[in-house]
Every structure is written in C-alpha cells, then in structure tokens.
Structure 1
C-alpha cells in the first residue's frame, strides 16, 4: 500500500513539474501559434479550406513529399505537396504551417511565427493567405454533388456530407423547354445571383426557393443540373429519410456552403409532410416503454424553419429546390409563395421542346424544312408524352444518326401512345355513362 501511495505521489509530482515546465516554456518562448480548425461547432471554417488551397498551390519543386492524382482521364497528372509541415516566407518573416489532427479526428492548421512579426502576420499575412486561397479556389472550382451521410457515421462535425465531382453536361441551351419559359428562369437566376445588396436592403436572407413539378420524365433533375452548371453552384442532395429529427436537419443545413443548391427530390415521397397526417398509434409502445429509435421524426415545422425560418439565414446565396410528381399531395404551407418563390411546371413535350431535342440528337438546325415535322407537330398537340420518351426515340442507334429513321420511330411511338390514350379516355367515358 505504501509503495502504491509513493508511486501515485511521484506521478502527481511529475505531472505538476511537466505543467510548470510547459508554462515557463510558453511564457518565455518567442514564438506565437494560431490554430485554424476545420470547423467551428457545426459550421465549416472557410479559412481552413482557403489555407489548404493556398499551401497546396505552393511550388512543389523543392518539396520532398508529393501526392499525385488524376480526376479525369483527359486531364494530366496533378502533383501536390503531401507534407505535414510547410515553411513560408512573407515580407522577410518566416512562417511555419502544420496540419494537426486531434484524438477525436478534428483537423486544424497550426500557424507558428516569431512574436516580433505578430502585427505583420495577423494584420496582413493571414488575410492575404485566405484571400489568395479563395481566388485560387474560384479559378479552378469544380462543381460538386453532395449527399448526406446517416448520423451514425458523423464524427462530431465531420463526415456529414460526402461528395463527388459533378459532371452532368446539362445546360439551358440543350434543355427541352419552351424558350420563353426558359428565358424567364434564367433571368430569375441571374437576378438572384446578383442580388446581394437587394436582399440586404429589404432585410431578407439571400436565398430563393424553386418548386419543380410535373409528371415523371419531364426533366426535373435535368433542370437542377442546368441550374447548377449555369450558376457554377454546388448541389446538396438532401435525403430526408436518412435524417432522424429536426436537430439533425439543422446541423446538416449549417454544414452546407454558400453558393449552393439544396435539393429535396420527390418531396411527397421523402417523409410524411402532407397536411392531413395520419398519426401513428404509439400507445402500446409507450406502455411497454418502447420507441422505434430509427423512426424518422422530421416534421413539417422543422422543414419550414429550414426553408425560411431563423435557420435559413445560416449561409448566404443559397437556393432550395423541391421536386414532386404530385403537387396536390403537398401541404400548402410548404409550397406557398415566399417559401417556394417560383413554381415551375415541367409538363409533357411541346413542339418547341421537340425542336430543341431534334437539334440535340439529330443536328437539325433548320427544323421546319423537314417534311416529317408537320406530322410530329400535329401528334404532339394530341398526345401526352414526356421529353424523356421523345429523346429515347430520337437517340441514335450505334451512334449513327439516321434522321428519317429516328423521326419515323418517334411518329410510330406518338401514334401508339395517342391510340392508347384515346382508348383509356373512351373507357372512362363509358364507365361514367353506366354509373352516371
């Protein structure tokens, strides 16, 4: 027992001596340290990513540790520094950067410099590094597609989102839609992108909501891709069914970056957000002290806060997009003007939309000269067919364009669809005559 007490006493004395030694070392050390963590609570620290970009851009000719990557086959090999410590120099001052990872996985950049350069570093060098990093990021920015991870995979504020490079080629030029409607949407997007001062003036968060609705295959996902490419914004594809409650929803929201499009596709199918909710009978579970831990409890009020409540202001220049095939199933409070500012109906293929598809797939610039166009125009007026189905019939077989063959295939498909829709309509009318 005496030996145990002696060892414990010695240990405490050693720890105390170490703390005293560290105190005096720090007290008299001529060096200053500044830490830049990757995140602050649940919000991304944009200075961290700017510093990472800046240090990664430093010349690699003198570096002994490099890493190579090739994102696309068409691009050359990219070499970057792969060093824990990086030395820099600024107006005669020597600076050392070091990437540090804590026991809980939190990453941060540690900046070390001599105390005599404190004013130079804090007033001039750090702002220079951050701005330089942001400029480099803007020049080489690659649009990314993010999707949320289940909360069981979160490590504190990390790993909420995973991403890949977004390489969808959609553009408004190739989007099958009436030109006037397309122009209206593009003008609205440009006004939003340039509206920072306006939103500040009227006292509203710099965000905008778009509701895309219409039958399947009418181009809702393609519209989102075109919007992202047009604005050069990242896409956050929010999977509501992977979120357990409103608190997790808020954390995910605050972890998204500005200049982004937050998307909830098929919102009528994601969670029960309809006006007439069917309340589950939980009495039996409560009596037994049981609850379904995996049950999704994201509520309508939680989602409304996400759209235009207090939490919607956690980030600037953000677009929110909902898509649905069944507009009538959504709660009116969710899609009212002011929350979903612009309602965009993406419906069946029109003749104007067809001409764009003919240009995309068949390289037909002078549309009206082709003799089969008049027949297609007549059929499109009477037939409900999605742009996706029209595109499928126009697509070249074995990459060999056959204009007449593709147009005739489309005409056959339209006639078949038209006959089917007429038969359904007649059966419905006969049914009403019998029971009416």
Structure 2
C-alpha cells in the first residue's frame, strides 16, 4: 500500500483503492502463470499488503502425525461454503451413499468472523475480520518416499497482519470446534486396521455396522451388567483420571474357548459406547517404532483391539527359553538372514507394554485396550497384570441363562416345556454359545412349530455331546 507524508485523506484512500483494484485484476493473470512465478507473485502480494500467511499441510511436521488442522479445514470449508465456492470437487463418503464436497485446487474462499471483543459492540459489521482460504495440490516428483500418494496437499490462510492475535487465538479455534461439531453430527463409526503396504498411510478403514448389542449377548445377566456399568463409569471419568494422574484408558482381557463370544463382546462394547474400533494385526508391524506410530495416530473414543494375542507374537513366559535354544541350534548370521527374508515382526514384549501403560499410552485419551486369547495361561504375567489389563473377563461355555437369551433372539420364546431338559444337559456338558446358536437356527422357515423343532435338535446335539464326553472322560 502506497503512503505519502503530505497526501490528504482523500488521496491516500484513492491510492489504496487503486492498489487493491490493480492487485485484484492481476490475480486473474497470475493464476495462468507457471507455479514458480505464481508463488513469487503471492509472496510479493503478502509484502505489499502487509499480510500474514499460514500454511496448513496435510502431513504434520512430525514424521508420525497426520495434521488434524488440515482435516478440520477441509471439513469446515466443504460444509460452510459449498453453496458459495465457484469450484468444488464432488465425491462420496466411505459408504458411497452421501455426497461430500471439498474445495478444488487453486480455489479462493473469503470468510469473515467477529472477534469476541466486538460481539457486544453496535458496529459489529465494521469489526468483522476477513480471511482468505486457498487450497493447493502439487504433484510430487518420482522417487519420493510417499509410496501411496504422489500429491502434496495444503491450505493457506491469509489475513491482515493487524489481526494476527484474533485469527491465531480465536478463528482457528472456531474452525476446529465447528468441524468437530460437523463430524459428530455426521459421524459414522469406523473399523480400522493397520495398512500392510507401508508409506504414510497407516490405517485403512471401513464403516463399522455390527448389529451386536448387550441386549442380544448370550451371557450371565449379572456379569453383563457389571461390564456395562464399568464401561459407562469409564466414559464419564475424564476428570477423575486427571485428578489421580493416570492416562484416560482402560484395559480389558477377554479369554475363553473358541466360540464363546469374544469378538461379539468387542462389537457390543463399541456399540454401547459409540466408539470406533482399531484392530491391530501385530504380525504386520515390523518394529516397535511402527507400533508407536500407529498408536499415536488413533483417536479418542476408540477401542484398540489385538485379537488372539497368544498367536500374534512370541509373548509367552517361555519366550526367553525358546530363543536361547534357537540361538544354540542356529548360527547368528543365518538367523538374521532368514528373519529378514521372511519379513518377521520385531515387536517386543517391552514395546507392547510401553504401548499399554508406558509413556506412549498417554498420547490420547478415552481409549479402551482389549486383548483376546483362547489360552490365557500362555501369556506373560507382566502383560496381563492388573493395572495393564484392568478387567479380566472370562467367556466360558454356555450356561442356562445365556441359553435363554439365545432362545429369545433366535426363536422369540422366553419359556417352553423343553427348557428344563435343556437346563439339565447344559449343566452336564461343555458347549460354546456359538454351537448352541447354530442348533437354534431354524432349518425350515415354513415349519409350523419352529421353536419345538429347534429345541429338539439342540437336545439331540447335547445328548450326543454328553455321550462323547463320558467316553473321553471329560
């Protein structure tokens, strides 16, 4: 902006208007220039008008972090300016049912906001601050380490230097809060798993739509209610965890024979709390640093799951002895070569423990950590001690109370003459809820009395199992 010492107010205002008009007309020409010249002009524009520019890249400065401000800006601009922007990109969400609009490359959007100091004043319009958003997308040269994406995406936020405190302290906070509210309003729970291909893409996701609930879970009602009470208490205890100086997380160990409902229990927990689920495949993680990177990039209100942890890695108490024997049998060089060729995971027990309750466990809040196993006796005691796995939930064989839940779910009956005989046999045999549910599945949907037929099939299966167990001395 030009300024002359001896010029009057009118002359100064005229020059200001002329400068603005000239710069505005030049913008149409600048947009047609090559990238380097275009960026040079924009820097000159910032100096000319004493403007401040904030760059918001898609990838954070830290190697392990995704920039959440970028995703917030994308959500905010797409929702607030989809009816005003001249160039937008249309896509669909993960379900493929809803249209999602985002700002197109090189599009500019002007936004206004009112600082808190001006809200009570009469001349609110005069106190409004204007900011300019611009989206950029650049192609990355071949040979880049970004294996999964060859584009560099970022937003720039430009504003008058006089308004730096208001923009930095108020406006950006407004963008974050608004985007969070929009995401919560349109939220669809996700099921994540760690990516196998490497690169910057840590998690792949699908919509989580599991129908399981505690109302349909085949389990002792008292035990079920205790778990529900514990989950509800945890979700409302942020201040309490901060008061006692503990990370806001809770560990669950689900153990029992196959078919007893461990995976179903996780789905019930997610639906009860409305949490996302992060399913970690340990064997696909090569180092402890990769595990930490994954954990840092999980969000709050989530359940981090490692299923069949006894099969994922050598984490049992006897792991040290097994390694010693292996070292004696195989030369060190041969072992290292084979391990490299197989791409075996090098995640260690100490790395896993640090993720559960070490320093890295405090990176984030309101998270459940759930391990499942069929053989709890094989796990290292340090891994499942109280304080790491706060609740140990045994999911055992089907008992009569769990059977009644299954009968209601599958047959829509709460009482039947054959129930007493089922009670006697369930007390004598060991059978999983999954096997009971299979017998209660109607074989003929046109049958006149489906309940009786299914219960008779169940009694026959229980009687056969009782005879086998008697022969085998179980």
TM bin (shorter chain): 0.7 to 0.9
Q: TM-score, normalised by structure 2?
A: 0.78
1:29: how far off?
4.1
Partner residue, 1:292: 339
1:44 aligned residue (66, 71, 81): 66
Partner residue, 2:259: 217
Question: Structure 2 matches for 1:81-100, cutoff 5 A?
Answer: 81=102, 83-84=104-105, 85-91=107-113, 92-100=128-136
Instruction: Out of 287-296 and 350-359, give the one that drifted further.
Output: 287-296
Distance change in 2, residues 1:96/1:351 (3 Å): same
Partner residue, 1:159: 201
2:241 is the alignment partner of 1:193? no
Partner residue, 2:55: 35
Partner residue, 1:329: 378
Q: Deviations over 1:348-387 (max 9, x none)?
A: 11111111111111112xx23x111111111111111111
1:115: how far off?
3.2
2:188 aligned residue (142, 145, 150): 142
Q: Residues of 2 paired with 1:45 and 1:316: CA distance?
A: 18
2:463 is the alignment partner of 1:415? yes
Partner residue, 1:425: 473
Whether contact under 8 Å (2:317, 2:380) holds in the other structure is: yes
1:408: how far off?
1.3
Distance change in 2, residues 1:326/1:363 (3 Å): same
1:101: how far off?
4.2
1:252: how far off?
1.1
Q: Residues of 2 paired with 1:249 and 1:258: CA distance?
A: 17
Tell me the number of residue pairs that the alignment of Structure 1 and Structure 2 aligns.
401
Distance change in 2, residues 1:95/1:183 (3 Å): same
Partner residue, 1:232: 274
2:98 is the alignment partner of 1:80? no
2:168 aligned residue (122, 136, 139): 122
Gaps of 5+ in 2: 1-36, 114-127, 141-145
Q: TM-score, normalised by structure 1?
A: 0.85
Q: Deviations over 1:68-117 (max 9, x none)?
A: 437558x6x53524523351422444433233345354533322233344
2:402 is the alignment partner of 1:353? yes
1:342 aligned residue (391, 411, 434): 391
1:53 aligned residue (75, 89, 92): 75
Distance change in 2, residues 1:339/1:216 (3 Å): same
Partner residue, 1:69: 92
Q: Residues of 1 paired with 2:421 and 2:291: CA distance?
A: 51
Q: Residues of 2 paired with 1:238 and 1:314: CA distance?
A: 17
1:425: how far off?
0.8
2:263 is the alignment partner of 1:244? no
1:248: how far off?
1.2
Q: CA RMSD in A?
A: 2.6
Secondary structure of 1:340's counterpart equals: coil
